[in-house]
Amino acid sequence: MNNAPLLELRGVGITAGDRRNRRTLVRDVDLTVAAGETVGLVGESGSGKSMLVKSAMRLLPRHAATSGRIDFEGRSVLGFSRRELSAYRSRDVALIHQDPRAHTNPLRTIGDFLVEGVVAGKLLGPREARQRACALMAAIGITDPEHRLTQYPHQLSGGLLQRMMIVAALLPSPKLVFADEPTTALDVTVQSEVMAILQEQIRERNLGLLFISHDLDLAAAVTDSLAVMYAGTVVERGTTAEVYSRPLHPYTAGLLACRPSATAVTRLKPIPGRPVSAYEVASGCAFAARCPFATEECRKDRPQLRTVEDRLVACHRVEQIGAELAQVVHS
Amino acid sequence: MTTRSVIAPALVVEGLRKEFPAHSRGGKALVAVDDVSFTLERGGSLAVVGESGSGKTTTARIVAGLERATSGTVTAAGSGKGTARPVQMVFQDPFASLDPRQRIGAGLTELLRVRIGLGRAAARERAVGLLAEVGLDEQHAARLPRDLSGGQRQRVAIARALALEPEILILDEAVAALDVSVQAQVLNLLRDIRERTTVAFLFVSHDLAVVRQVTDQCLVMRNGRVVEQGPTAEVLDHPRDPYTRELLDAVPRPGWQPRRRSA
């Protein structure tokens, strides 16, 4: 097996805006996704998780700039020529959006939508593409696939349409799938089903999956490793089981502690304040203003990711606050 | 007939039915709400739980007077203060429910003057008090909705609803659009309001964990019908209806695995 990971991000930063008003959206992010690995990218609004995925597909708007390195199988995505980029987008990677309705053309049939990419990318002929799409639909439990091809997006429920997005994403047989909040717009029972289908296909094909979510519980259930983002940076990275059961960063711990439970009534322990974006952060740790453990050092000096117990954590005080953090989560 | 000595419930809904006329379904009307009955006690908190299309929002909108029922009755206690209705509603998206050009304080003051008939000074004072109750200060009063975060906007929406001193506060997915860290803040606020006032909550949500935190009674709806009804803890801990169980099983939690429905 090839040793280079599928996707490797090193020191990725994203800025946007015009020359006078340049805003930092993502700062110094390192991330890798290997074949057959599911990586979760978790964070609240404005944390930069979607921007990061867009930058990895080079889908950022014109006024946004990416710095650092983004490598796909050892080749620099940021250095791709037009032709390489179109090949990369059509064969190597696929993106599943949050809102399938916003990403399908209401005037074109599902069939047109599904085969457009593979036909335009000359991966398959139109007839073959339709056959493959039908086979794939049948495999993920969509009934009467032939008929579905002739339907329009408005005739399908949200859950069914999102399954079509999965079909469209998998049809070109990509190596890596980005899923940006793929089930956020869906009901819980449908979410369960769509996630099961996605997971099944990803495993069967040994694909890499970068799963973006604001829902730590959901991400924890479906990923192998987790990266928690706050204000445009990764604050904690490690295997899912460890991050979830024993968070080391106060933000991760706070996120875990503030979610309501369906089985017990407790006074919730919210994180004070609101989530901030990278450009709102001056010097020091981005989380310091909301962190119960912050000291003068945290406010002055931005912590870098460092290895603590097989994991990467960006916090000055990991060693001092470990025991208290455990209490925050489990009390 | 119930005896008059007991305090009348805040809201009694009986045999509610709502049909939407069919234009493209071959003449068959869509029944959004079908024979829904429930009682909301004064100061009580009732959850209406269900997935999209279950009729939960339509039920809430009928109670709020935004939609007319095809049949059935809605009886709300109290007459409301001034010209305000005794039922107020907080919507899911606080950005869409606030006037983008009106400052927060000015909006609240206007509401109090027009609806309750307070004088200028009294209204202003009350507005500051209301904002304080939801954890905002005078600084926020001077801002426009766009300068507030999602959580703050939702607090404003709650303050505006409470300003009219309703008997019943309908919260339609009121915390669904908020980030988790902020959602917890608003849930705690809602719980404080329940302790402080006698306002009754009609809490429409798809999120069982959220429902658990702020309601005592719970109504599970599916396809317009009530499939299960009872105390929230009882329904969530010992669901009797298979659909309720399915909903509960679908909530991600430690050790959870997504599942394809067998059907």
In order along its 331 residues, chain A shows pLDDT tens digits of 456 799 999 999 999 988 888 899 999 999 999 999 999 999 988 899 999 999 999 999 989 999 999 999 999 999 999 999 999 999 999 999 988 999 999 999 999 999 998 999 889 999 999 999 999 999 888 989 999 999 999 999 888 999 999 999 999 999 999 999 999 888 888 899 999 999 999 999 999 999 999 999 999 999 999 999 999 999 999 999 999 999 999 999 999 998 888 888 888 888 988 888 888 888 899 999 999 999 999 999 999 999 998 899 999 999 998 878 877 776 5
Q: Which chain B positions have a beta carbon within 8 Å of A265's beta carbon?
A: 212-213, 233
CA distance A245 to A240: 8
Report chain A's C-alpha Rg in angstroms.
21
Query: Do the interacting molecules here have an ipTM over 0.85?
Result: no
Is B212 an 8 Å CB contact of chain A?
yes
Residue range(s) in chain A whose domain bears CATH number 3.40.50.300: 7-223
A7-223: CATH architecture: 3-Layer(aba) Sandwich (3.40)
Residue A15: helix, strand or coil by DSSP? strand
Percent of chain B with pLDDT over 90: 68
Alpha carbon distance A48, B232 (integer Å): 37
Given an 8 Å threshold on Cβ–Cβ distance, is A216 in contact with B180?
yes
Is any Cβ of chain A less than 8 angstroms from the Cβ of B149? Answer: yes
What are the residue ranges spanned by the domains of chain B?
11-77+167-249, 99-165
Among left, alpha and beta (phi > 0; psi -120 to 50; other), residue B202 is beta
- Which residues does chain A have within 8 Å of residue B257's beta carbon, measured at their own beta carbons? 196, 221
Per-residue pLDDT at A330: 66
Which of A31, A29, A28, A61 shows the shortest CA–CA distance to A176? A31
pLDDT of B1 reads 44
pTM of the model: 0.88
Q: Name the residue facing B213 among A158, A265, A271 (closest C-beta).
A: A265
Whether the CB of A125 is below 8 Å from some CB of chain B: the reply is no
> How many beta-carbon pairs under 8 angstroms link A with B?
126
The one-letter amino acid code at A248 reads L
Give Cα separations from A130 to A114, A167, B17 (angstroms): 8, 11, 44
Residues (pLDDT < 50) of chain B are 1-5, 262-263
* CA neighbor of B129 nearest in space, from B141, B115, B147: B141
CB contact under 8 A, A258 and B250: no
Name the architecture of domain B11-77+167-249.
Answer: 3-Layer(aba) Sandwich (3.40)
What does the alpha-carbon distance between residue A228 and residue A249 come to, in Å, rounded to a whole number? 9
- Gap from B79 CA to chain A (nearest CA, Å): 33
